[in-house]
């Protein structure tokens, strides 16, 4: 036991250290009080492609009118966020997925959208030009890579 303890301690320290470095931090895109300034643009519904989650969609001021009228592309600065729930009635908070319209040139082959998947504390789990988001949203593309029908 005497020889095993230092090794065990070392491996715990290593695992702990890696975990902290991997943590990307809180989203700089979705404000904590988003519900106060964003408008709900889609009611609770199951989201095919987001596992078995249901979503409610909110949009910021820049995104609202184009998102609601289906006239794309959405302007730079647009944020469209899906509040993710495991419950079909959207009563819980499982996390968020969002798309943020960057300046032209950020990712011109995919609408210059910046994608994020967040946990329920708004900590970033996936960030940037996320290929899995892009490839599916290219398929369902209703308007400028958004997918939720009215």
Please report, as ranges, the residues that interact with ligand HEC according to CB under 6 A. Answer: 42, 45, 47-50, 57, 80-82, 97-99, 115-117, 126, 130, 132-133, 136-137, 140, 146-149
CB of 137 to ligand HEC, least distance (A): 6
Which of 81, 90 has the CB closer to ligand HEC? Answer: 81
CB of 113 to ligand HEC, least distance (A): 9
Which of 16, 46 has the CB closer to ligand HEC? Answer: 46
Which of 32, 149 has the CB closer to ligand HEC? Answer: 149
Residues 6 or more apart in contact with residue 37 via CB below 8 angstroms: 31, 60, 61
| Tally of helices (H runs) and strands (E runs) in the chain | 4, 6
CB nearest ligand HEC: which residue? 49
Strand 113-118 to 79-85 pairing:
unpaired
The CA–CA distances, whole Å, from 109 to 98, 106, 129, 135 equal 18, 9, 11, 12
CB of 80 to ligand HEC, least distance (A): 5
What torsion, rounded to 10 degrees, do the Cα atoms 140, 70, 96, 43 define?
A: -100
Which of 11, 121 has the CB closer to ligand HEC? Answer: 121
> In 3-state terms, what secondary structure has residue 25?
coil
CB of 4 to ligand HEC, least distance (A): 41
């Amino acid at each position: 036991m005497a020889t095993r303890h230092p090794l065990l301690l070392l491996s715990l320290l290593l695992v702990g250290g890696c975990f902290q470095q991997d943590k990307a931090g809180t989203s700089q895109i979705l404000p904590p009080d988003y519900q106060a300034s964003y408008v709900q643009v889609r009611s609770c519904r199951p989201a095919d492609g987001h596992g078995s989650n249901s979503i409610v969609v909110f949009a910021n001021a820049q995104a609202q009118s184009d998102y609601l009228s289906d006239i794309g592309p959405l302007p730079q600065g647009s944020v469209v966020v899906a509040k993710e729930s495991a419950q079909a009635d959207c009563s819980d908070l499982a996390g968020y997925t969002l798309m943020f319209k960057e300046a032209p040139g950020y990712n011109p082959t995919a609408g210059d959208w910046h994608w994020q998947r967040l946990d329920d504390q708004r900590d970033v789990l996936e960030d940037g030009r996320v290929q899995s988001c892009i490839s599916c949203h290219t398929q369902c593309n209703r308007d400028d890579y958004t997918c939720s029908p009215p």
